[in-house]
């Protein structure tokens, strides 16, 4: 590690929110100048304030700003940036964007466009992985018609998953229980895939009833070196969207850990993978065999939302490694250097209302107080008085807790959740407080349908309804006992305080 490192002088970050802030911080530590882009809706965003240069690229609509390849390339060239970091989401897995960067003389901080092309297509990736000897969930190739779908589903046996080949984030995905339902959702799913990914191709996979979702983080350089950085448990999901991740997995034996890691490296080698990537698997926890069966699910050819979990337990800065790899450096770590120490948990804090079907809760953040203390990290993209736009993913921050073991990490996370205060909007903090108190979660008995089976959303609503009474009583007693005059110190009638706040002050919440 003592060798001189090749580095960029200036990097453009083609993203927004907490991931843009995260990349800015990595650039600062490497003494690289960070440049950002922003839409009209993000003029006051944190990533704009923290960067060296910021360029407006258009209206709030993503298609006219963060998804506009021509605008981002133009800004990168105008600013003098040598490389582009795509973050995650938006253009991060867009092979046309990666190729456009290369054609414009810019370094794309990520894998090659060819690797993206294979792994970005779920049907093509299934074929490539099977050829390499890695098991996939029983399923089909691309479906040509509803007749093909009905015939294939009959062979697989219901229930099945109808999936978009270019899908992600729970879009273009349907659980199908019988032929009648398959016929009714086939075209709907194709249309959703076409509108979301500009690719209507769909295929079928056998439905696994209680799988665990595990993923392996990998790093590869331009010199053929490839390593893995252990696993992340991502089984806590809602509507196929991850909510909480942790490392190491609480129910992972050393034998299957090694098998998953080896399979992940095999998958990466099939496409000569470079930079950071994640290979995802479903583990069939209902398997009658002593050794659980696992199946390749997909490969994400980018940095994952949950990458900090791995950073904490390995001590390796993944974003810095991405940048240094793209600059042509060899990996600074060999496989024996990678050790998982302790336990880390990440809660995705969204601007969503958990009492109202987790609908987005955009608006102005009136108060903002981040937790801190031993073992706490918070990757955030907001601050007090900033607006959470309606146009984008409502992720506010990623709250992480580290401990010497899983029990300590959970204890620290529960403490941090109680400290975290966000006013003006609804957030998912109350949901996580209930989840981290659930007995089966504490035992680590996880699977992708955990929330539904445990009815945790309903339990959370009951807890919140009960807890709402206490602040009301406390506030009433406080004002009743403490205030003897009819005026406040500033001369405002005390009755008008309630109208002023519109609800009880945050002091009592």
Could you give the residue numbers annotated as active site?
302
Determine the Cα–Cα distance for residues 156 and 138; give it in Å rounded to an integer: 8
Determine the Cα–Cα distance for residues 481 and 485; give it in Å rounded to an integer: 11
**Sole residue written with tokens 């897995």:** 93
Extended beta strands in 60-192, E state: 83-85, 107-108, 160-168, 171-176
**Sole residue written with tokens 């050790």:** 339
Residues in the chain: 509
H, E, C per residue of 167-199: EECCEEEEEECCHHHHHHHHHHHHHHHHHHHCC
Angle at 213 between CA 210 and CA 215, to 5 degrees: 160
Determine the Cα–Cα distance for residues 201 and 191; give it in Å rounded to an integer: 9
312: closest CA among 246, 235, 408, 242? Answer: 246
**Sole residue written with tokens 């073991």:** 405
First to last CA, the chain: 50
Write the DSSP string, 276-334.
Answer: EEEEEEEEETT-SSSSPEEEEEEEE-S--TTHHHHHHHH---HHHHHHHHHTTPPPS--
Q: Are strands 83-85 and 10-13 parallel, antiparallel or unpaired?
A: parallel
CB atoms within 10 A of CB 174: 18
**What are the respective helix, strand and coil percentages of the chain, to the nearest 5?**
40, 25, 35
CA-only gyration radius of the chain, Å: 24
Determine the Cα–Cα distance for residues 34 and 81; give it in Å rounded to an integer: 9
Determine the Cα–Cα distance for residues 399 and 403; give it in Å rounded to an integer: 14
Angle at 115 between CA 111 and CA 118, to 5 degrees: 150
Determine the Cα–Cα distance for residues 38 and 276; give it in Å rounded to an integer: 25
Residue 200, CA distances (Å) to 97, 139, 173, 301 in order: 20, 18, 12, 21
SS3 (DSSP) at 421: strand
Determine the Cα–Cα distance for residues 454 and 441; give it in Å rounded to an integer: 10
């Amino acid at each position: 590690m003592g060798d001189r490192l090749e580095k960029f002088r200036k990097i453009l970050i083609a993203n927004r929110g907490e991931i843009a802030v995260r990349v800015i911080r990595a650039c600062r530590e490497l003494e690289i100048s960070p440049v950002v882009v922003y839409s009209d809706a993000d003029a006051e965003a944190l990533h704009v304030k923290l960067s060296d240069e910021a360029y407006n690229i258009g209206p709030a609509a993503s298609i006219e700003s963060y998804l506009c390849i021509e605008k981002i390339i133009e800004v990168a060239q105008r600013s003098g940036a040598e490389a582009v970091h795509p973050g995650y989401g938006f253009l991060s897995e867009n092979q046309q964007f990666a190729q456009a960067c290369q054609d414009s003389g810019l370094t794309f901080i990520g894998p090659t466009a060819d690797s993206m092309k294979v792994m970005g297509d779920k049907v093509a990736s299934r074929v490539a992985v099977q050829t390499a000897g890695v098991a996939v969930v029983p399923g089909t190739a691309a479906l040509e018609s509803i007749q093909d779908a009905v015939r294939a589903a009959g062979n697989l046996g219901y229930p099945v998953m109808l999936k978009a080949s270019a899908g992600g984030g729970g879009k273009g995905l349907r659980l199908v229980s019988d032929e009648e339902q398959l016929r009714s959702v086939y075209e709907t799913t194709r249309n959703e895939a076409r509108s979301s990914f500009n690719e209507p191709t769909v295929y079928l996979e056998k439905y696994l009833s209680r799988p665990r979702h595990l993923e392996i983080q990998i790093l590869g350089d331009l010199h053929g070196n490839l390593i893995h950085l252990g696993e992340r448990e991502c089984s806590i999901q809602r509507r196929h969207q991850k909510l909480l991740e942790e490392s190491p997995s609480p129910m992972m034996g050393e034998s299957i850990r090694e098998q998953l890691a080896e399979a992940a490296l095999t998958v990466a080698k099939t496409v000569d993978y470079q930079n950071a990537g994640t290979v995802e698997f479903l583990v069939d926890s209902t398997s009658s065999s002593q050794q659980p069966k696992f199946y390749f699910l997909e490969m994400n050819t980018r940095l994952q939302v949950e990458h900090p979990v791995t950073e904490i337990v390995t001590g390796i800065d993944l974003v810095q490694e991405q940048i240094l790899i793209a600059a042509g450096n060899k990996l600074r770590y060999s496989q024996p250097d990678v050790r998982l120490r302790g336990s880390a948990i990440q809660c995705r804090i969204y601007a969503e209302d958990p009492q109202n079907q987790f609908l987005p809760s955009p608006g102005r953040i009136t108060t903002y107080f981040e937790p801190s203390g031993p073992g706490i990290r918070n990757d955030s993209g907001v601050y007090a008085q900033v607006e959470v736009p309606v146009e984008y993913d409502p992720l506010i921050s990623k709250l992480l807790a580290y401990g010497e073991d899983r029990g300590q990490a959970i204890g620290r996370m529960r403490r941090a959740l109680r400290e975290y205060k966000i006013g003006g909007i609804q957030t998912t903090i109350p949901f996580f407080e209930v989840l981290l108190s659930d007995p089966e979660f504490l035992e680590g008995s996880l699977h992708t349908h955990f929330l539904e089976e445990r009815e945790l959303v309903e339990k959370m609503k009951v807890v919140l309804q009960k807890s709402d009474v206490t602040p009301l009583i406390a506030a009433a007693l406080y004002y009743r006992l403490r205030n003897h005059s009819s005026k406040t110190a500033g001369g405002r009638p005390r009755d008008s305080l309630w109208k002023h706040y519109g609800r009880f002050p945050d002091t009592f919440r």
